[in-house]
Structure formats: structure tokens, C-alpha cells
Structure 1
Amino acid sequence: MKARLVVFPIKGKIWCFSRSIDQSASAFNSANTPSTVKELWKKISTNSKPLNANAELLVDFISNKMNNAWVGLEKAPEGSFKNKLHGFGLQLLARVKPSEVLLKSISKEVTNVRITYPPSLNSRLVRRRLRHIAMRGTVLHRKYFYGSVTLLPLTTALAVLPLPNIPFFWVLFRTYSHWRALQGSEKLLQLVSDYSRAQSFSSEMMEASKELEELLRKGYENGSVNEKAISDICIKFKLNKIDVLKWRDLV
């Protein structure tokens, strides 16, 4: 599977790194994830793959259940407890760093990346910065993953309270999120750090886009890219605007 990464300066010396939305990949993952415990057990018990592959299947199953629960909160009536819970969840998600979102988008199915960037940027510097994000991610998300795992038993104890165990579900989500980001870091590092491969296939891996350069030129004002230009870039290159804005608002 190919992944398209779009890189461009968004505010001062801050660059945006975002993956184009791939609907087919999402559909493929959903279709291959069991929807019930019975289906999960059947698939694991008949699976001849290594233990880590079954662990991956279990993680995907839990992730699918969490996503469905989140969609249920999103559709809750205005003013209801579930609706307020969804709003609180959005505030927590807003604190997730954009680099983590990028790394989580690089799944194990990705076999190569195509990096789109404005011609004004040096291709080697673009690749170097991506490699730095991947290397830093392997260190940070491994540390945070183990930290989140140690908190799970503590938050589980809060289940005795007559309220939804929000801390447990948040720590569970962060555990999953850091694990996915760690996997993505390792995969991205593998894809962008093989110098000989990058040299041989540079024309396939790197794509200087004049159209991206023009959109940036028209929308750059007061030291950053304005929201109109960001919207146009997101539409053209199929990016998630919320994720892109996180880079611009990064402190």
C-alpha cells in the first residue's frame, strides 16, 4: 500500500506533515476486523500466524469497538450526558500532538511513501525532518506506551464508583494510541532512512508540487498560512483540516 505525505511550511519555521486521506485503506481495515467476540475468537483460534499477529488482531478489534462507541457519543442528543461526554472527549483529543496523528496514520500495510512538498524546500531536508520525527517517535511513544500500561490497573480500580470510568477509557485509548504511533514511527523510519533506496527511487519517492507552492504563496500572510489557503490545500491534497490546523497552532 502506498501512502502520500504532504509537507509544507505552515507558520514561521514550523512545517506541516500530514497524510492524505485514503478511504480504500480504511474500508480494507474495517472489512478485515472481526465485529464480534465470537468472530474474534474463531479467527484467533484458526489463525496459524505468529502470536504478535493475533495480538494485532485483538488491538484492531478493541479499536473498532472504541470507534463505534465514539460515534455513538457523537450522535447523542444535544445537552444529554453522552453529548457532554463527547464534548469533553474532543477537548482531550485536541491535546494530542499532530506528530502523533501522523505516525498513527502509517500502518503496517504501508510499503512505500510518496512525499509531496513545495519546490522551495530542499528534498533532502524534507526527508531528514521526516526521519527525525520518526526517530523521536520511537523513543517518546515507547516510553509513553509503557507509562500508560502501568496506569491501566490503577484506573480499573475506579470501576467501583457509580459513574462511567472515564479515566480508564482515556488511559486505554492513550495506550492504544501510543502503541500505534510507535508502530508507525518504526515503519516510517524504515521507509525514509534507507539512503540507497531513496537515491535510486528519488523521482518516485519525492514530488515537488508547483500547485502546492502557488497555494502557499497566495495564502501566506503575517508569518503563517491563512485558513482559506489551508482549506484549499486540504481539499486539493485530501488532508484532514483539523490535523493540519494542529500544526499551525503548535506552540
Structure 2
Amino acid sequence: MDQRTKIVLVPIFRHYWLWQAEAAAAAAVQARNGARVEPPALRDWRQGRNLEEKSQLLGQRASRWVQNRLWTEWRKLETAADGTLRNRGYRMAQAVLAREDPQETLLKNLPSKPAHIEVIYPTAYKERMVRRQLRHVAASGRRRHATRLVWWTLAMLPQLPLMLTPLPNLTVYYTGYRLYSHFRALQGAKSLEQSLEQLNSKQLRDLRDQLLMYQERHPGFEFRPREWPAKLIRKEHRYLDMLEKMALMERVRQLQRLREQEEGEQPPQQAAQQHEAHKQEEQQPAPLVTFTPSVELNDVVKPHDRIHTPLGDDAALAVGRLFGIEHMISHVARVRRLAIGSSFPTPKPPGG
């Protein structure tokens, strides 16, 4: 089943933006009800076709084990009685989570593999600028979380023996959480980069097809050899890499579908429907990232006013109601703290 994620762009103050990611509806409902979202079953590492795939399966199992352990301990902290050591640890953890980098939260909420993402942004911004900023978030996040993942892994190694003790080892759990958080953010950054590359490659290929069609409709017409249309038609080195990436991504998606069919058989009717859907997708593959301008969002956040004053709580509540996002005020407050040094929507001094 394809995962679908919605990213809402909310301008907070000047160049500080909030990228709020919301997962699929079913997972969101379970999370709001306090229920754990059960992940899909993992394949046995012995089923890997080569050493690289076996190492990936082992890594997934290790990540799942850490995630389950952290979830169990978090539930113990959450349900602890008031005044106990676990309850104090839970309050400390809540304070730490409230200061988490908003971009890290965004990348953690993205699928670990390239999937369908819809980016909703105010109409005051151009799609080109939104895409460029999102690409910067993905690239900088990949570098930052890859480095921090190494450091937190080194910090976790000497603490592993403490996990066998019955004591509430808060430092171990915090280190494990930060390790898993950076790992998930790194996966989200990589998948977002791949999705944006797929979108760029698809648009480039569509443009090349339009140029070829224009030449066919106008016999005798040719673009100048040194102009970019002629270079794109000839698939020069500058454009060849992107066109080849598009073909490679389509091939990878086909192999993934074949692997899913091999892992589990489906009823004939469902299999026929999926085969027809895959056939249409092969003819015209849909982009993994779509950008949708929103007039309603633009009217609520008023991007031009955000040059002088930060976004208020009333507007944050309105955005939350508009897109069904809970705790929107706390998300906005975290970015406001970065922008003006305060979680409250106090106006910026004239010279600041």
C-alpha cells in the first residue's frame, strides 16, 4: 500500500518557515487515539538475495528492536504515578521533545522510502521557491543527521550493558531515542531528496518530449546547436544524468512491485486491479511530489504580514482546523522560539 504524506508550509516570521508533515489518515487517527501504529512484518535476513540486501534486513530488524524497546519504556514513563522517578523522567522527556528542531520533526514524519508527498503552500509564494527551499531542507538535513547519527552511536556503545539492569536508565533511553530520531530523520531526508530528483527528471523528460513534438510539427525547423533545447534533445552530459535517473527510478519501482508479488499472493480480483493500476502507472508514472497552492492557507497566514510580525496563536489554530493538524500552536511556538527567542507571538523590535 502506498504511503501518502501531506506537508503544510506555514510562514512564521521572515525566513523562518514551519514544514508540518502529516501521515496517512489511518495512521494519524491511531496516533491521535494513543494507539501504536503497527509496522509491517519484516522479512528474514536470510531471504536477502545478496550481502547488501541481507545487511539492510539486519539493520531493519535492529531498528525495529530499538523502536519497540523505546516504545515500551516510554509507555512505562507515561503511565507512571505522580511523584515517582519515572514520572519525573517523563516530564523531562516532554521538555526535551518540546525543544526538538522542527526540521528534524519534519524529516522523521516522512516515509523512509520514496512515496507520494503533497506540499501545500500559500499562493503568495512561487512553486519554484518552495521547491528550492524544500530541497535545501532535505540536503542540509541529510548531512546534519548523518554526522549526528555517528556521534550518538559512539555515545550509545558504552551504555549498552546498562540496558540489562531493571533500573530506569534515563541516559540510555535518551541516547537511544536520539539515535533512532537521527536515523529516522536521515531516512526521511534521503527519501525526500529521491522524490524531488524524480520530479525534476520527469519534468525534464516531458519537456524534451514537447520539444521533439514541436520539431515534428514544424518540418525543417531546428534549434540552434548551442542553445539548451538542442542540448536537451541531444541528451548531452548535463541532462543525461537526470534522464537516466528517471529511467532508473522507474526500473526500481517495477522491481519493487515484482518483489511484493513474489512475497505474498493476493486474491485474483485484487491482483487484477493492481495489475491494471501498475500498467497505467508505467505508461504515465505519477510524480512522487506534488505542489498545491492554497488560497485558504494564504488568507489565514498572510505571508506579507509575516515580514514585520510573527504568526499568532489564532492563525495557528485556524491552520490546524483547516488541515486537521493537532497541537498546531506548539509546533508554531517551536519555530517562533528560533525566530524571535520566545514561544509567544511578541512583535519584533523595529531594529531587530
Secondary structure of 1:31's counterpart equals coil
* Shift in Å, 1:142: 0.6
Number of the residue aligned with 2:302? 217
- Measure the CA separation in 1 of the matches of 2:68 and 2:161: 24
- Measure the CA separation in 2 of the matches of 1:77 and 1:33: 33
- Measure the CA separation in 2 of the matches of 1:212 and 1:244: 15
* Shift in Å, 1:71: 2.7
Asked if 1:6 corresponds to 2:8, the answer is: yes
CA RMSD of aligned residues (A): 3.1
1:65–1:23 distance in 2 versus 1, CA, 3 Å: farther
* Shift in Å, 1:25: 4.0
TM-score, normalisation: structure 2: 0.61
Number of the residue aligned with 1:247? 335
* Shift in Å, 1:61: 3.6
* Shift in Å, 1:230: 0.5
CA offset digits 1:176-195 (Å, max 9, x no partner): 11111111111111112342
Asked if 1:196 corresponds to 2:201, the answer is: yes
Matches within 5 A, 1:76-95: 76-95=80-99
Runs (5+) with no aligned partner, structure 1: 35-39
Higher relative contact order (Cα pairs below 8 Å, separated by 6+ residues): 1
Asked if 1:186 corresponds to 2:190, the answer is: yes
1:177–1:133 distance in 2 versus 1, CA, 3 Å: same
- Measure the CA separation in 2 of the matches of 1:62 and 1:129: 33
CA offset digits 1:2-42 (Å, max 9, x no partner): 211111211222111111243424669933456xxxxx8xx
1:23–1:58 distance in 2 versus 1, CA, 3 Å: farther
Asked if 1:176 corresponds to 2:261, the answer is: no
Number of the residue aligned with 1:44? 44
- Measure the CA separation in 2 of the matches of 1:166 and 1:213: 43
Secondary structure of 1:250's counterpart equals helix
Please tell me whether the aligned partners of residues 21 and 238 of structure 1 are also in contact (alpha carbons under 8 angstroms): no
CA offset digits 1:193-235 (Å, max 9, x no partner): 3423357678x711110000111139x6761111111012122
Secondary structure of 2:302's counterpart equals helix
Larger Rg: 2
* Shift in Å, 1:78: 2.3
Number of the residue aligned with 2:18? 16
Which deviates the most, 99-108 or 239-248? 239-248
Counterpart residue identity of residue 142, structure 1: A
Aligned length: 243
Please tell me whether the aligned partners of residues 116 and 207 of structure 1 are also in contact (alpha carbons under 8 angstroms): yes
CA offset digits 1:75-127 (Å, max 9, x no partner): 22222222111001112222320101101111235522111000001111101
Counterpart residue identity of residue 55, structure 1: G
| % identity of equivalent residues | 24
- Measure the CA separation in 1 of the matches of 2:46 and 2:141: 34
TM-score, normalisation: structure 1: 0.83
Number of the residue aligned with 1:65? 69
Secondary structure of 2:155's counterpart equals helix
- Measure the CA separation in 2 of the matches of 1:159 and 1:25: 30
Secondary structure of 1:115's counterpart equals strand
Counterpart residue identity of residue 202, structure 2: R
- Measure the CA separation in 1 of the matches of 2:203 and 2:336: 29
- Measure the CA separation in 1 of the matches of 2:180 and 2:164: 24
- Measure the CA separation in 2 of the matches of 1:65 and 1:92: 19
Secondary structure of 2:80's counterpart equals coil
- Measure the CA separation in 1 of the matches of 2:37 and 2:59: 17
Asked if 1:128 corresponds to 2:129, the answer is: no
Please tell me whether the aligned partners of residues 131 and 193 of structure 1 are also in contact (alpha carbons under 8 angstroms): no
Secondary structure of 1:15's counterpart equals strand
Structure 2 residue aligned with 1:236, among 302, 322, 328?
322
Counterpart residue identity of residue 105, structure 2: V
- Measure the CA separation in 2 of the matches of 1:151 and 1:228: 42
Secondary structure of 2:37's counterpart equals helix
Asked if 1:154 corresponds to 2:239, the answer is: no
